[in-house]
A and B are shown apart, each in its own frame.
Chain A
Amino acid sequence: MLKIKDLHASVDDKEILRGINLEVKAGEVHAIMGPNGSGKSTLASVIAGNERFEVTQGSIELSGEDLEEVSPEERAHKGVFLSFQYPVEIPGVSVTNFMKTAINESRKAKGLEDMPAKDMLKLIREKSELLEIDRKFLSRSLNEGFSGGEKKRNEIFQMAMLEPKIAILDETDSGLDIDALRIVASGVNKLKSKDNAVILITHYQRLLEYIVPDFVHVLHNGKIVKSGGKELALELEEKGYDWLKQETAV
């Protein structure tokens, strides 16, 4: 589904991603871990098409299509979703209105009519129940004054509404309390299918107890320095990153 080959990306001439190779197949869950500043969010941004970063080498393919010339909104229409580490605020725009616009823009791109209000309502009801979101919340301005955890849960609500093919969750677990983490994780699990895939960026083993990854990768200095199964996460939790850093320095 997603195939990343020798990806290099930089911002303001500073190279951040230095040759990433990653293949994610339909039905898989991949976890990406790694020390602060190693380039995890940058990788997520670049996959989503953020033009702030310049891809200097390599390629990203989605279902066989090279994404180089594909705009961020078109990537979204094709099923790329990013749950942001730091979701932005849009004052005066309600969550409902925002989602409605997003869904209808995607439909428009596919040559479909706007979603009828009735269906939209049904969808909202269904997904807000899935994530145990109070409906009142949906009339509030997007992310404005949301607590850290609320922002994260709202990201996953949006993911549920948009039903992406590949979802990248950038530290969605940080900021969530224990109950919220369980709710969000079970939401993600319910949305998971053999036709879609999830990339989890996280620092903590806890999330991976709920959403069990097929693969765990460690990013360091813009490169994947180690990959393994779910037990790698446990090993990292125990040992930290130093041993890997040393290993790669050699």
Chain B
Amino acid sequence: MAYTEEELKKELETKEYEYGFYTDIESDTFPIGLNEEIVIAISKKKEEPEWMTLWRLEAFKIWKEMEEPKWANVHYEKPDFQKISYYSAPKSADPNKTLDDVDPDLLEMYRKLGISVDEQKKLQNVAVDIVVDSVSVATTFKKTLAEKGIIFMPISEAIKEHPELVKKYMGTVVPKTDNFYAALNSAVFTDGSFCYIPKGVRCPMELSTYFRINQAGTGQFERTLLIADEDSYVSYLEGCTAPSRDENQLHAAVVELIALDGAEIKYSTVQNWFPGNKEGKGGVYNFVTKRGLCEKNAKISWTQVETGSAVTWKYPSCILKGDNSIGEFYSIAVTNNYQQADTGTKMIHLGKNTRSTIISKGISAGKSQNSYRGLVQVSSRADGARNFSQCDSLLMGNECGAHTFPYIEAKNKTAMIEHEATTSKIGEDQIFYCNQRGIPTEKAIALIVNGFSKEVLNKLPMEFAVEAQKLLEISLEGSVG
């Protein structure tokens, strides 16, 4: 049983946003603003082949014609896209580095982030790629993985080293035209991870990417492309943090997953971007497009714990194209103070006997707004498609909001779609009951919230589950009067 209370307790003394430090690393940052020259300059910086530059330019053209989406249940000041710098790299990052060559300041930063890029991690069997601002700075375990034919590297390197794979798959699940932020990302993405698991290979370790915005005034646009070839398996983890700043920083990522016949991808995220301060100042705008494609008998599971960001707009989705394919979405979204989250999923059933499961747990506190938005679509060809959705909301206090927007579009009569929703409030009597047993209110809330989120926490890999529980506690700090 994953009871980690002991370890947590000590660390819970400091409940402020723990990752709010800034590391003074010399960096190479582009002037603010966005135009074709900048797009070309990014591509140059990355020493990309021409096809990639052209791909970016096309995306830029598309983006210029698009408008920011307004349908989400979030309100924020529109970012000024001309006031952001689109490229920032720690100067000492060198794509050919081994860990020994990494800038000691960077290593110190990893240490503070709690990422041990060293022996410890080896024991824990996690291969890590770390993206600071716009550049991937360390990929561990390359060799071990290479022996199995697994490719795990920064996407900027993959573009050069495995152009055939990148060309074949990039933009196939999330096209450039998909939406405003996806188009923007396609034009200016700077780094991210690339992963390919060959046919029949079970990836022997968790693959993990750690994203960090360090530099002020920069946006982060990472792009992740993960391809699981036939009958392969991979579990992938993604973590995010940023320094505390008064300004809003933009994060617009695109993640594309491709699960070929019989493959399985488990993708877990713990998102803890700076949420802004108590008064709602600052914080990251997190506008992310994540989508996976399942071929025959394939399976994709998204698990996310979203505690950070001032504004979140995110719908990890599955296109269940192949017959018998399976999509899953397990989510915990916590909002406190003035945070706003509009998150959920889309399950697009195209193939026969496709199945999807959605479990969403929204926790709102303070003056925050938490929305679940989900679409279950069953095409006319998708005989025997099944979906089960469960959306539970937990409210703390009277000033926050929880909203559920389930959309169902079924064009096939054999579809079986079930939707359950509950809203509950942490009751005074529950708190008193805990108090009476000697449990202080803050701890009582953490306990109740953890219990509420259990079904989703259980889906996380062990190591992440610990971090996630800790985050839940930290992010709800001060939510009771």
Which A residues fall within an 8 A CB radius of B? 48-52, 71-73, 75-77, 80-82, 84, 87-88, 90-93, 97-98, 100-106, 108-109, 114, 141, 158, 162
Contact = CB atoms under 8 A, between A and B. Distances in A.
Interface in B413-452: 427-430, 432-441, 443, 447-448, 450-452
A98 B5 CA distance: 11
A48 B429 CA distance: 13
Contacts of B436: 48-49, 72-73, 75-76, 80-82, 84
Contacts of B452: 91-92
Given A52-B432, A72-B432, A84-B433, A93 B438 contact: no
Contacts of B428: 52
A25 to B, nearest CB: 23
B162 interface: no
25 contacts: A52-B428, A52-B432, A71-B440, A72-B432, A72-B436, A73-B436, A73-B439, A81-B436, A82-B436, A84-B436, A87-B433, A90-B430, A90-B433, A92-B454, A93-B447, A98-B437, A100-B5, A101-B443, A101-B447, A104-B5, A104-B6, A105-B438, A114-B9, A162-B437, A162-B438
Given A52-B428, A101-B443, A158 B437 contact: yes
* Most B CB within 10 A of own CB, among A75, A82, A84, A105: A105
B459 to A, nearest CB: 14
B88 interface: no
Contacts of A84: 433, 436
A90 B433 CA distance: 10
**Interface residues on chain B, size class:** 20 to 34
A86 B440 CA distance: 20
Contacts of B5: 97, 100-101, 104, 114
Contact of A77 (B430, B438, B448): B438
Contacts of A105: 438-440, 443
Contacts of B433: 84, 87-88, 90
Given A52-B428, A52-B432, A100-B5, A90 B448 contact: yes
Contacts of A49: 435-436
A108 B9 CA distance: 10
B309 interface: no
Contacts of B453: 92
Given A101-B443, A162-B437, A141 B451 contact: yes
Nearest to B10: A114
Contacts of B76: none
A91 B449 CA distance: 9
Nearest to A83: B436
Contacts, number: 86
Interface string B446-467: 0110111111000000000000
Nearest to B6: A114
B451 A91 contact: yes
Interface string B321-359: 000000000000000000000000000000000000000
B3 interface: yes
A77 B428 CA distance: 20
* Most A CB within 10 A of own CB, among B6, B433, B437: B437
Closest 8 CB pairs of A and B: A92-B451, A93-B451, A76-B438, A72-B435, A92-B454, A102-B437, A106-B438, A88-B433
B448 A93 contact: yes
B447 to A, nearest CB: 6
A98 B435 contact: no
A84 B429 CA distance: 11
Contacts of A77: 438
Contacts of B9: 104, 108, 114
A71 B431 CA distance: 12
Contacts of A106: 438
A105 B5 CA distance: 11
A200 B388 CA distance: 48
A88 B436 CA distance: 12
Contacts of A72: 432, 435-436
Nearest to A139: B1
A105 B444 CA distance: 11
* Most B CB within 10 A of own CB, among A72, A87, A88: A72
B438 A50 contact: no
Contacts of B3: 97, 100
Contacts of B6: 104, 114
Contacts of A81: 436
A100 B427 CA distance: 22
B49 to A, nearest CB: 51
B130 to A, nearest CB: 33
Contacts of B451: 90-93, 141
A162 B439 CA distance: 12
Interface string B43-71: 00000000000000000000000000000
Interface string B1-23: 00101100100000000000000
B481 to A, nearest CB: 12
Given A73-B435, A106-B438, 14 more contacts: A49-B435, A72-B432, A73-B439, A73-B440, A84-B436, A88-B427, A90-B447, A93-B447, A93-B448, A101-B443, A102-B438, A102-B439, A105-B443, A162-B438
B334 to A, nearest CB: 15
A88 B430 contact: yes
Given A88-B430, A92-B452, A93-B450, A71 B438 contact: no
A103 B9 CA distance: 14
Contact of B429 (A88, A91, A93): A88
A118 to B, nearest CB: 13
Nearest to A159: B437
Contacts of B448: 90, 93
A13 B221 CA distance: 58
* Most B CB within 10 A of own CB, among A81, A101, A104, A114: A101
Contacts of A76: 435-438
A73 B433 CA distance: 10
Contacts of A141: 451
A82 B437 CA distance: 8
A126 B271 CA distance: 42
* Most A CB within 10 A of own CB, among B5, B432, B443: B432
A80 B436 CA distance: 8
B437 A109 contact: no
A84 B436 CA distance: 10
Nearest to B458: A92
A87 B428 CA distance: 13
A71 B430 CA distance: 16
B10 to A, nearest CB: 10
